[in-house]
Structure 1
Amino acid sequence: MQDQEMVDRKPWYMAKGWLTASAVFIGALAAAGVYLVVTQDAQPGGAVTASSPSPAVPKVSSSPAEGDSVCGLEAGDQTVPESAPATSWDLVGKVAAPSVEGSGPGVVDDDGFRYCFAHSPTGALVAAATQLPMSANESTAKQWMDKSVADSPERDEELQAMTDPARVKDFVAAGTARGVPQLRAFRFISYDQTSAVVDLVVEYPDGMVAIPSEMTWQDGDWRYQPPASGRLAADTVRTLDGYVEWSGVS
């Protein structure tokens, strides 16, 4: 029998302040107010575990049909990465943020906020990994909500609420309550030119979880798409078998 841990709160689409009441992308919640199921030993037919082989992902060879990058980055290579890209890492607060030449971020603001990623699989990967440090820092969390979360009425409501600095502080504190998260590995679940789903392995002081991170191409950039079901399954990870190791902090 698989053991599960569930965060008991309303789904985001039923709750006001859907990204505030608990945690953000980090904390293995990826969106506050979303039900979280942490699976320790998934049964066949359940959530994918760390030791399972990676799902087949199409290797797109053509250029994207539409949608220019908001900062002019070229789409570039459309091959889904099966190894870690050459990456430079910077600490944003205490969380490592990746940069990959040609894939993004194309813009780094003075406050450390990063956005604009190539319309490519590697661009989607770097964008997904960047959600971690951007949502975990008080100086970047509001911009993350504005520029890196897919449009919705709930997102707009929360963005308005975050004009209050106390709201931002509570938002970040809830997401980092488990400790400082660091990226450890990834694997692609699916990719096409409008969306990507990437499993990100995130390590906390008490262990690792794999978070399925859906990104959607919107307004010239990759944006995080909270789960429409209001439920986000996250696997407990004991081994990185089946994943591509990718980390900026040892």
Structure 2
Amino acid sequence: MSAGFLAITLTVGGIVALTTGGGETSAPAATDLPDLGRGDRPEGCRTDDSGEAVPMAPPKGIKWRMLGLVRVPVSAEAGPTRMDGGVWWCFAHTPLGAVMAAHIITSEVTEKHWRSVVDRQIVAGQGRDIFKFTRAIEPDIIRGSASNSVATPAGFTVTSYTDSAAEVKLLLRTSSGYAGSTFDLRWSGGDWRLLPSSDGALHSDVTPMENPRGYVLWKG
């Protein structure tokens, strides 16, 4: 991982405000989140898991929140609906839930609490170990240090989905056009987690795109 990676993750997402109201809620510590069965959720995690179809149009009920320079989508139905020590979690067991998790988790690793994010929201293994090692020597993102040309979320597409795995592509809008990157996720411990590559990358290389064809574009 490099400083360039952190800049990219900042453009993909950001820490979000809870959309369900009622302020912050408590959540189990990381050590209390075992790998449960597919239908099980950690205590207090409730989401609407009825939207099993892959979204082909802009989803309804999306809210937008700002954190620093980043504007991110959140959903009361698809998540995240819980917060614990700055870690946003509890995503719907649906394609849209996987999309939201890809946005949130990649942003959270730019924050000072990134170690908790890695332990709770990235699949264990060699890739996670390498990511943790390289992330430890990188500086945290300094709010306000980026230019006004920071990319913003523009759209998404879910290229594959099962009850246990999802592949999501996120589309960014930059000052020079569009760019896209692919994320692999796994359903583990009753929530979506990012699956890093064997070399510790959380997503594929960010690729410039001529147009947003093939992506569901966000509204708002």
Assess if the C-alpha contact under 8 Å between 2:71 and 2:152 holds in 1.
yes
**What do residues 123-170 of structure 1 show as CA deviations (whole Å, max 9, x unaligned)?**
11111122343234x3453333232221124524654786x7xx45x2
**Residue identity opposite 1:93 in structure 2:** G
Answer with 124-133 or 208-217: which moved more: 124-133
Please give the root-mean-square deviation of Cα atoms over the aligned residues, in Å. Answer: 3.4
Structure 2 letter corresponding to 1:90: R
Is the aligned partner of 1:99 residue 2:74? yes
Deviation at 1:219, TM superposition (A): 1.4
Q: Distance in 2 between matches of 1:110 and 1:152?
A: 24
Larger radius of gyration: 1
Q: Check the 8 A contact 1:23/1:172 in 2, yes or no.
A: no
1:219 matched to 2:189? The reply is yes
Q: How does 1:1-250 map to 2 (within 5 A)?
A: 19=1, 23-24=5-6, 26=8, 66-70=38-42, 71-74=44-47, 75-85=49-59, 86-109=61-84, 111=86, 113-136=87-110, 138-156=111-129, 158-159=131-132, 167=137, 170=139, 172=141, 180-228=150-198, 232-246=204-218
Query: 1:234, 1:128 → 2: CA distance?
Result: 14
* Alignment check: 8 A CA contact 1:104 1:126 kept: yes
SS of the counterpart of 1:232?
Answer: coil
Asked whether the 8 Å contact 2:41–2:190 carries over to 1, the reply is yes
Structure 2: unaligned runs, 5 residues or longer: 13-36
1:73 Cα deviation after fit: 1.9
SS in 1 for 2:181: strand
Q: Tell me the amino acid that sits aligned with residue 68 of structure 1.
A: D
Report the CA distance between 1:118 and its aligned residue.
1.3
- Residues 69 and 172 (structure 1), Cα distance of their counterparts in 2 relative to 1, 3 Å cut: farther
The alignment-based identity, stated in percent, is 25
TM-score normalized with structure 1 length: 0.62
